[in-house]
Amino acid sequence: MMDLLIPDKTHDESRQGEALMLNAETAKNNGRKLYIESYGCAMNFSDSEIVASILAERGFETTTDHTLADVIFINTCSIRENAEQRVRNRLKEFTITKVKNPGLVVGVLGCMAERLKSKFLEEEKLVDVVVGPDAYRDLPNLIDKVDDGQKAVNVLLSREETYADISPVRLNSNGINAFVSIMRGCDNMCSFCVVPFTRGRERSRDPLSIEAECRDLFEKGYREVTLLGQNVDSYKWSPTQTLPGREGLEKAENQKVSPTGGDLEGATTNFANLLERIALIDPDLRVRFSTSHPKDITDEVLHTINKYDNICNYIHLPVQSGNSRILDLMNRTYDREWYINRIDAIRRIIPDCAISTDIITGFCSETDEEHKDTVSMMDYVKYDFAYMFKYSERPGTLAAKRYADDIPEEVKQKRLTEIVAKQQEYSFYRMQARIGTVERVLIEGFSKKSDKDYCGRSDQNAMVIFPVGEGYKPGQYVNVLIERSTTATLIGKVIPQTP
Ligand code: SAH
Ligand code: SF4
Ligand code: F3S
């Protein structure tokens, strides 16, 4: 498969045979339209771009209108029950499309596909294909099967697959920001979480291929990459690893770029090394990353962030709970003190770093007192932003097996409402603190509300709105003097660049 994506100069007979087959298949699918809709985390959105690339190789074009599609894929999320419910509802809507077009192929991809496997075909008659996150290379064959009148399933998880050699087709792109997947899976086994079951074992992607992808994006005009992994701090690449795509990439020009993290010199590359390597591509390429894990984020990573202006001063550090007993039940492998220590390290090493978090309310057996520890953690950190959720029991997880989901819905909701209100206050507080400062903003496009304004993000990831003007356009950096704010947005005006 790799040969199809990275051209190789050796033409033996079997390769010619493969090429002929590929041509025939591309011709067969030529002009067939793929519509793909993604739910869940950034990694799913990034995977959809890999899927689009795999199918583009076979002649498929993407469409943004599902009524025109020959193939509809829905890339799903299982993280909470309501995420799954949304997908089920959406599938019902596609029933009408299928009635109008009986040749339509409907596929379920991603985490729900992996969790439910062939059960999906029984439960949702509309669905023709079920494909897990590590089996996307098999999609062309699976579609062929459906074309031949069968249903098709591939939910094999892999210890090696990173799709390193695949150059994603950017979907719904503004040509400025892109997600770049640096690892897959998760080995952490937080007791509430379904991800280790749906995404399999953790594996890191070859740094050369990550660098090549980022460099290519920069050359195409992109100015911001977000490096993605469930736990980026445990990124680890050893040069003895050989994965698909390596050979082609070793030959690539990017090899000349100074690798800061060993690898080509024979050392292991950790996340700090990788960050540095990507930051060195160009000072005008902004580097973001998600998600950091409190147990693994090192001072070395923090010093690297501080060292490079183009590595953004923004860390998403999910706490989940501020109480050590609950953290233990959650199997997060850190306690309140450890988390506070990491926050203090961020404040010490990176002055002016924005911090956001994820919080779960009403985890099994959580008392009011323990919930107050979460509230007091919010008071301590004063997060810039937070994603907050009610605990949702997921089948098969450690928590589902070991603990009763015993906090009544109204209590979960009350605690959630309380922390949402608290977060509003702190978001506003953080925004207000920026008034009078000058923010370096990467212009992303017109603001949602008006084409008289541009929007873009500050280094600390705050959304900034300012009037459209002469001499600057999307994809460029401007200095914006902040004049006022809402809870979610900074508002200001462009001032001349200081030399
Ligand atoms: N890898 C990231 C999180 C990925 S899932 C990390 O370790 O931080 C994103 C968020 O969804 C989690 O941080 C958690 O807050 C929330 N989440 C995960 N499982 C959940 C569940 N069963 N119920 C409610 N929220 C959950
Ligand atoms: Fe889930 Fe924990 Fe892994 Fe995050 S680190 S994906 S919460 S198991
Ligand atoms: Fe959802 Fe899977 Fe991401 S469960 S949050 S799409 S890894």
Please say if the pLDDT value at position 14 is more than 60.
no
Question: Is-cis flag, bond preceding 76, omega within 30?
Answer: no
| Residue 258 located in a structural domain | yes
Same domain, 249 and 354: no
Q: Which residues of 74-92 are buried (b: 16+ CB within 10 A; e: fewer)?
A: bbbbbbbeebbeebeeebe
Same domain, 391 and 460: no
| Residue 403 located in a structural domain | yes
We report the CATH number of the domain holding residue 185 as 3.30.750.210
Predicted local confidence at residue 180, as pLDDT: 97
Ligand 3 centroid–CA 355 distance in Å is 22
Predicted local confidence at residue 414, as pLDDT: 98
Same domain, 71 and 198: no
Same domain, 364 and 466: no
Same domain, 179 and 119: no
What is the mean pLDDT of the segment spanning 260-264? 44
Predicted local confidence at residue 17, as pLDDT: 58
- Hey, which residues does 441 pair with through a beta bridge? 478
From CA 330, how far away is CA 389, in angstroms rounded? Answer: 14
Same domain, 239 and 272: yes
Residue 199: which domain range?
174-312
Pocket test for ligand 3, best of 36, 50, 73, 79 (most atoms within 8 A of CB): 79
| Residue 487 located in a structural domain | yes
Same domain, 109 and 31: yes
Quickly tell me which residue has 């040069």 as its tokens. 239
Same domain, 191 and 301: yes
Q: Is 312 annotated as a binding residue?
A: no
pLDDT tens figures, 272-311? 999 999 999 999 999 999 999 999 999 999 999 999 999 9
Please say if the pLDDT value at position 13 is more than 60.
no
pLDDT tens figures, 72-127? 999 999 999 999 999 999 999 998 888 889 899 999 999 999 999 999 999 999 99
For residue 323, give both structure tokens: 């109480």
Amino acid in position 458: S
Pocket test for ligand 3, best of 50, 77, 114 (most atoms within 8 A of CB): 77
What is the mean pLDDT of the segment spanning 42-54? 96
Q: Is 364 annotated as a binding residue?
A: no
For residue 356, give both structure tokens: 């956001």
| Residue 160 located in a structural domain | no
Q: Which of 154, 188, 204 is a domain's end point? A: 154
Predicted local confidence at residue 28, as pLDDT: 74
Q: Which of 154, 187, 212 is a domain's end point? A: 154
Q: Which atom of ligand 3 is nearest to the CA of 44?
A: 6
Rg, the chain, Cα only: 23
Catalogue the E-assigned strands of 160-245.
177-181, 183-184, 203-204, 224-228, 236-237
Q: Which residues of 443-480 are buried (b: 16+ CB within 10 A; e: fewer)?
A: bbeebeeeeeebbbbbbbbbbbbbeeeeebebbeebeb
We report the CATH number of the domain holding residue 110 as 3.40.50.12160
* DSSP assignments along 105-165, one per residue: EEEEEHHHHHHHTTHHHHH-TT--EEE-TT-GGGHHHHHHHHHTT--EEE----SS---TT
For residue 394, give both structure tokens: 């997921």
| Residue 334 located in a structural domain | no
- When mean pLDDT is compared across 11-15, 135-139, 264-268, the lowest value belongs to 11-15
Would the CA dihedral through 369, 374, 379, 385 be positive or negative? negative
Please say if the pLDDT value at position 259 is more than 70.
no
pLDDT tens figures, 374-387? 999 999 999 999 99
Return the higher-pLDDT residue of 498 and 485: 485
Predicted local confidence at residue 157, as pLDDT: 97
| Residue 337 located in a structural domain | no
Ligand 1, atom 10, residue with closest C-alpha: 358
Pocket of ligand 1 (CB under 6 A): 79-80, 192-193, 195, 230-231, 291, 293, 318, 320, 358, 360, 389, 391-392, 394
Same domain, 20 and 134: yes
Same domain, 346 and 460: no
Domain count within the chain: 4
